Structure 1
């Protein structure tokens, strides 16, 4: 499985028992959706390796207590400590309305309510405090904060997202 075909689920955070159980921190608002998984992909040496789950249960708010089939000791658990967990994109719950996953809007045309088509979404930069749409307009990069109030419509069928940006924001890049 290629990493590009998967989404980040979380990270193995700590050992839970001397029998090799681990606690995985889940990067989701709905951890209950993932408590009955049959398997996950664990990133080991930059490769995704399938690990089958013998049993799992929610632990506190955002942790999943996992017993993997092939991990029976603390030492074996140590080998995967800190590893990231992934699942296939097909397992993401479907979003509706103007909600979207960052990866699904890459390549969408951006329509500004005042200026019309202002380019295509090249990426979403979420490395700072505020995620940003990185929009490519014929080689010019336009950065727009990803703010719910700016998003007017999302048309998955036609691959467009309509934004209502403050006057002057986009103009800074196009002048």
Structure 2
């Protein structure tokens, strides 16, 4: 859902980066959890700041406590997320899916979903290949995503997998 970018001010507030489609929505999901699930934080958003929001996290009252949280990624329970239309997917749902070409041959598994500004890319790794392949996640190149079957069908551009 987001990440703590560091302390903001001297009274325990943090600079909170939101990864939500609507950045302000991060404050409406209820408690957010640390990646290891060991800590839970109630979030109260403050003013927008560079690359996020000033925010109060429950239990964090000093600048030192806020600064100690720098870099912590925050998550929400899956059942708190809204359902999506049939042609949209949460990145977490795509990670680990096996990718097949249109002929049924395995291309590997999705290791990550990346976005560097233009569009999403699937990072696909295959046991027999050196390095990963970045596959554009567009309807033309990835015509089928079947979450129930745990598979993606892709039609990669010629030369991408060589």
What's the TM-score once normalised by structure 2's chain length? Answer: 0.69
Alignment partner of 1:143 is 2:133: yes
- The 1:124–1:92 alpha-carbon spacing in structure 2 relative to 1, beyond 3 Å, is farther
Determine the C-alpha separation between the residues in 2 that align with 1:155 and 1:82: 33
Partner of 1:123: 110
- The 1:127–1:33 alpha-carbon spacing in structure 2 relative to 1, beyond 3 Å, is closer
- The 1:158–1:123 alpha-carbon spacing in structure 2 relative to 1, beyond 3 Å, is closer
| Structure 2 SS opposite 1:117 | coil
Instruction: Note the alpha carbon deviations across 1:135-161, whole angstroms, 9 max, x for none.
Output: 54xx53483523313011222233332
- The 1:126–1:104 alpha-carbon spacing in structure 2 relative to 1, beyond 3 Å, is closer
- The 1:58–1:118 alpha-carbon spacing in structure 2 relative to 1, beyond 3 Å, is farther
Which protein has the bigger strand share? 1
| Structure 2 SS opposite 1:35 | helix
Q: 1:18 aligns with which of 10, 29, 38?
A: 10
- The 1:140–1:74 alpha-carbon spacing in structure 2 relative to 1, beyond 3 Å, is closer
Which protein has the bigger helix share? 1
Task: Tell me the CA shift for residue 106 of structure 1.
Answer: 4.3
RMSD: 3.3
Instruction: Note the alpha carbon deviations across 1:51-98, whole angstroms, 9 max, x for none.
Output: 332632462585233222322222332322333322233334433334
Determine the C-alpha separation between the residues in 1 that align with 2:19 and 2:94: 20
What's the TM-score once normalised by structure 1's chain length? Answer: 0.65
Contact 1:42 1:51 survives alignment (8 Å): yes
Q: Which runs of 5+ in 1 are unaligned?
A: 1-8
Determine the C-alpha separation between the residues in 1 that align with 2:137 and 2:153: 12
Contact 2:100 2:108 survives alignment (8 Å): no
Q: Which runs of 5+ in 2 are unaligned?
A: none
